[in-house]
């Protein structure tokens, strides 16, 4: 999926760390850590901009893709981190797109489970 590839490219480039994500039909949730030289606004701009550019170039998409702005929550403790992680995982289940978080294919949890199966590590 193109959006997942965009996230991976920025992680590989060291722009930020993606802890978890889920791509829903009409929105995305990303739990990330940014570095000292990055702002949340800049990270979102990179993600949205690169995805839009590539969707137009590679998929021939002509319309606007993203709404203006975004919502952010700053996480400052482990309990909050774990709560948002669960929220991200449960999003497709609550939307009726999967019976369990592990079976929704457009999420970090699903990809991690597939990688574990492929490598035989559990």
- Residue-by-residue pLDDT tens, the chain, 122 positions: 899 999 999 999 999 999 999 999 999 999 999 988 999 999 999 999 999 999 999 999 988 889 888 999 999 999 999 999 999 999 999 999 999 999 999 999 999 998 888 877 65
**What is the pLDDT at residue 121?**
66
Sort 84 into a burial class: Cβ within 10 Å, 0-12 / 13-18 / 19+: middle
Quick one: pLDDT at residue 39? 94
Angle formed by the axes of helices 2-12 and 40-59, to 10°?
Answer: 130
Q: What is the CATH number of the domain that holds 94?
A: 3.30.70.1290
Report the C-alpha gap between 55 and 104 in whole angstroms: 22
Task: Kindly report the number of other CB atoms within 10 A of residue 43's CB atom.
Answer: 21
Provide the domain count of the chain: 1
Angle at 15 between CA 75 and CA 48, to 5 degrees: 80
> In which domain, by residue range, is 70 found?
2-119
């Amino acid at each position: 999926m193109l959006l997942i590839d965009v996230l991976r490219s920025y992680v590989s480039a060291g722009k930020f760390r993606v802890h978890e994500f889920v791509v829903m039909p009409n929105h995305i949730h990303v739990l990330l850590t940014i570095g000292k030289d990055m702002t949340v606004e800049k990270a979102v701009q990179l993600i949205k901009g690169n995805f839009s550019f590539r969707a137009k170039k590679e998929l021939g998409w002509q319309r606007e893709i993203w709404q203006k702005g975004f919502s952010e929550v700053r996480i400052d403790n482990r309990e909050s981190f774990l709560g948002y992680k669960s929220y991200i995982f449960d999003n497709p289940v609550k939307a009726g797109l999967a019976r369990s978080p592990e079976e929704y294919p457009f999420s970090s949890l699903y990809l991690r489970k597939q990688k574990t199966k492929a490598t035989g590590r559990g």
